[in-house]
Structure 1
Amino acid sequence: MSAPLIEAIGLSKTFPGKGVFHKGKPVQAVKHIDASVSRGEALGVVGESGSGKSTLGRLMLGLMPVTEGTVRFDGKPVTGGSRAEWRAARKRMQIVFQDPYGSLDPRRRVGDQIADGIGIHGILPRAQRGARVAELLAKVGLDPAHAARFPHEFSGGQRQRIGIARALSTGPEFLVADEPVSALDVSIQAQVIQLLGDLRRDLGLAMMFISHDLPVVANLCDRVIVMYLGKVMEEGTAREIFARPIHPYTRALLSATPMLDPAKRSQRILLQGDPPSPSNPPSGCVFRTRCAHARDACAEVVPELRPFGDGASRVACIRAEEIS
């Protein structure tokens, strides 16, 4: 694999605890994560709601401060850097948000919103921005004349295309797609996924694709990391993860994927109980309280993410060899 374009090293994020459920205890949303994306590569990030997927994406983009660890972009650390260093890096990395309704300002024309990044980073003079906006709208499958419209005049799928056009306005090399189709009708989801795949190929984008839709991740991504309660349980190529999952949590996620072909359906693995509170995670392996393979040692040892088999995959499970 080529050198990473963006890399997280030992990344952690802790939020102060608030509310009756957390009783003032700090909430560790992401804990000691190593992740990287190479140029032109698509990394899928999967896991249940609350596993830390979106937090990881925002930390890598610098949209929230890290508690611990380092983010390196194109070989240079950006965490702890000056505002000028972050500004230069942000021009090269962008995000497509989950909510196509809330991510656009309803009071402004969409063309002006797409042009914001172009103006902020001084990419083009004002006289040339209209042509660039028209080009971007056409690239995402919309009529350039739509630049004069307001967000409420578009459907959800069209708004997400506008969000993608805005993300592309600065010519980024790295794109975080945070659940980009979960708020859309099923009939529209495939179109947006196809658009992201085409853009990735045509523009050579590195992409972090955050999703709970495992079949989409299998088709779109080169590698996958599986997260649970802020930690990575398993990492590997999409082919290996979906063909031969190792970690019990990965197996449970894949067993819940709907399959139309009865011959391809696996036996459903039902996890017991709800995920633990991130303000009070279990000792040892954070998944042990819901794992059918857990033993006493799982409560005592924090499993490291380590190579498994031929080294193409990594897994955080002390019993991986026994249960595989």
Structure 2
Amino acid sequence: MTAPIAEGRALVMEFGGPSLLAPRRRPVRAVAGVDIAIRRGEALGLVGESGSGKSTIGRLLLRLARPTAGQVLFDGQEITDVPRPALRPLRRRMQMVFQDPFGSLNPRMAIGTAVAEGIALHGLARGREARDRAAALLHRVGLAPGLHGRRPAALSGGQRQRVAIARALAVEPDFVVADEPVSALDVSVGAEILALLRELRSERGLALLFVSHDLHAVRSLCDRVAVLYLGRVMEEGPADAVLHAPRHPYTRALLSASPGHPGEARGPRIILRGEIPSPAAPPSGCVFRTRCPHALPACAEAVPALRAMGPDRRAACIRDEVMAA
């Protein structure tokens, strides 16, 4: 099996907590003991409702934030406590495509210059060669030469997202986190961006963490999927297997609420009761139990471990039908 390029072990991330002005304030636990690994050349989809911790995990793996507890490894090297200046040699190898490309691009800089800037900054090429590389990559992502001198405000949302992808790939990374890259785009433009990501991942052998709430997008792009709820992994495994035959009640509920797409197991619509609990005061035991239509009294007693369901597949549920795999 291919070794992971990016890995998180028992990751915990908390925000807030007690202070002089609020000594009783509870910390918000956005990520609660997550193990995650992305292998070389693999695409892992991270799915779940808003507030489940998806984007936070992406930032932790890129060491854009330091975890409260746990370890972050990149290409076998632990980088959990490495100071940010010392991370610079690794920054070229790990890149991010943000949900809002307009916010991540310099509004005063032409897009060709923005892409060439990263190439020069990391010492891959300079001057004319950097500009030529940038132009070739912008053309590869579908932007005509006449657009290369324009600023981000003059482009459509889909075009700006193509620029963001080009800028991330310009420095020849090994690992890319794509954080909801199509959520702000209409369906047809989003489909084009997904197709582009598929092609580029195949061409370049990229490892990709694809953060999304769109299960159809995950199925079309990813090899594996991990389903998050309140900062914990509920289920993970090969994308086709999980989306054809989900084992965890939460995964089933997500699929039942998603738009119908061929090959996805939807079944009857599952209406989850109540609201998502606060991450500052999660339920005891299984964090999903307060909304689970199949919860048992035992679900309140202990946090269920991720149990093997077969090759490369796990789920965190104590119910007999899940444990009996």
Range into which the TM-score falls when normalised by the shorter chain:
over 0.9
Cross-structure match for 1:8: 8
Partner residue, 2:137? 136
Q: Distance in 1 between matches of 2:314 and 2:261?
A: 30
CA distance in 2, matches of 1:103, 1:215: 26
Distance 1:321 1:266, change over 3 A: closer
Secondary structure of the 1:297 match is: helix
* 8 A contact 2:55–2:179 mirrored in 1: yes
Partner of 1:316 in structure 2? 316
Pairwise CA distance, 1:209: 0.6
Contact 2:71 2:80 in 1 (8 A): yes
Structure 1 residue 156 corresponds to structure 2 residue 157: yes
Q: Is the 8 A contact 1:9 1:34 kept in 2?
A: yes
Displacement of 1:17:
4.7
Aligned-partner SS, 2:11: strand
Contact 2:14 2:30 in 1 (8 A): yes
1:57-111 CA-partner distances (Å, limit 9, x unpaired): 0110011111111111111111112445411221101011001222212122112
SS in 1 for 2:247: coil
Distance 1:82 1:120, change over 3 A: same
Report the 3-state secondary structure (helix = DSSP H, G, I; strand = E; otherwise coil) of the residue aligned with 1:164. Answer: helix
Q: CA deviation at 1:320?
A: 4.8
Are the counterparts in 2 of residues 17 and 279 from structure 1 also a CA contact under 8 Å?
no
Q: Where does 1:73-88 land on structure 2 (aligned, <5 Å)? A: 73-83=74-84, 85-88=86-89
Residue by residue, what CA displacement relative to the aligned partner does 1:156-195 show, whole Å, maximum 9, x if unpaired?
A: 0000000001101110011111100001122211100000
**CA distance, structure 2, for counterparts of residue 102 and residue 320 of structure 1:** 47
**Count of paired positions:** 319
- Secondary structure of residue in 2 paired with 1:29: strand
- Provide the residue aligned with 2:267 in structure 1: 266
Q: Which residue type is aligned with residue 248 of structure 1? A: P
- Residues 322, 62 of structure 1: alpha-carbon distance in 2 compared, 3 angstrom cutoff: closer
Structure 1 residue 125 displacement after superposition? 2.2
Cα 1:255–1:89 change in 2 (3 A) is same
Distance 1:252 1:323 in 2: 19
Map 1:60-139; keep pairs closer than 5 Å: 60-83=61-84, 85-139=86-140
Structure 2 CA distance for aligned equivalents of residues 312 and 69 of structure 1? 22
Structure 1 residue 289, shift from structure 2 partner: 0.3
2:103 aligned counterpart, secondary structure: coil
Structure-2 change in CA distance of 1:320 and 1:204 (3 Å): farther
d(CA) in 1 for partners of 2:80, 2:89: 13
C-alpha separation between the residues in 1 aligned to 2:244 and 2:195? 23
Give how far 1:294 is off: 1.1
Q: Any residues of structure 2 matched to 1:157-306 within 5 Å, and which?
A: 157-259=158-260, 266-306=267-307
Letter in 2 for 1:122: G
Report the residue type matching 2:177 in the other structure: V
- What are structure 2's unaligned runs of at least 5 residues? 19-23
Cα distance in 2, alignment partners of residues 322 and 225 from structure 1:
16
Residues 277-296 of structure 1 deviation map (CA, whole Å, 9 limit, x = unaligned): 01110011100000111112
TM-superposed CA distance for 1:264, in Å, is: 7.0
1:31 aligns with 2:32: yes
Give the Cα–Cα distance (whole angstroms) in 2 for the partners of residues 73 and 260 of structure 1. 35
1:135–1:144 Cα contact (<8 Å) kept = no
TM-score, L = length of structure 1: 0.93
Instruction: Give the match for residue 44 of structure 2.
Output: 43
Per the normalisation by structure 2, the TM-score is 0.93
Q: CA deviation at 1:147?
A: 2.3
Amino acid at match of 1:63: L
CA distance in 1, matches of 2:323, 2:270: 14
Q: Does residue 56 of structure 1 match 2:57?
A: yes
Q: Given residue 305 of structure 2, which amino acid in structure 1 is its aligned partner?
A: E
SS at match of 1:193: helix
Q: What is the RMSD of the two structures over their aligned residues, measured on CA atoms?
A: 2.0
SS state at 2:101 partner: coil
Q: Structure 1 runs of 4+ off > 2 angstroms?
A: 82-85, 144-147, 320-324
Measure the CA separation in 1 of the matches of 2:285 and 2:32.
13
CA contact (8 A) 2:15 2:30 kept: yes
